[in-house]
């Protein structure tokens, strides 16, 4: 999952929309990753909805970590 997230970031498939909201262009569609005021992160892709984690969220976390 981390490797896929790194590839999403490197290929510039993560788009900042507004505070706490990102679009991520995945292999099977474009998904919205949101970070709420408490720092909880979520994605509307099927993988996150089923497992609570996905490469889209991991990609946004990579971007946020690299900006610090």
- Give yes or no for residue 51 having a pLDDT over 70: yes
Show the tokens assigned to 43.
């994605």
Q: Which helix (H) or strand (E) holds 26?
A: none
pLDDT digits (tens, 9 = 90+) for 7-33: 999 999 999 999 999 999 999 999 999
Bigger pLDDT: 66 or 63? 63
What pLDDT score does 23 carry?
Answer: 98
Per the structure, the complete domain to which residue 44 belongs is given by: 2-67
Q: At residue 41, does pLDDT exceed 70?
A: yes
Side-chain-facing half-sphere of 25: CA atoms under 13 Å: 8
Alpha carbons 38 and 3: distance in angstroms, whole number: 27
Distances (CA, A) of 40 to 11, 27, 37, 52: 25, 24, 7, 11
Domain count for the chain = 1
Q: What is the per-residue pLDDT for 37? A: 94
State the pLDDT at residue 68.
59
| Percent of the chain residues topping a pLDDT of 70 | 97
């Amino acid at each position: 999952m981390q490797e896929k997230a790194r590839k999403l970031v490197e290929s510039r498939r993560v788009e900042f929309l507004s505070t706490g909201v990102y679009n991520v262009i995945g292999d099977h569609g474009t998904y919205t990753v949101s970070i709420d005021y408490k720092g909880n992160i979520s994605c509307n892709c099927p993988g996150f909805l089923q497992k609570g984690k996905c490469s889209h969220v991991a990609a946004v976390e990579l971007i946020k970590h690299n900006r610090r």
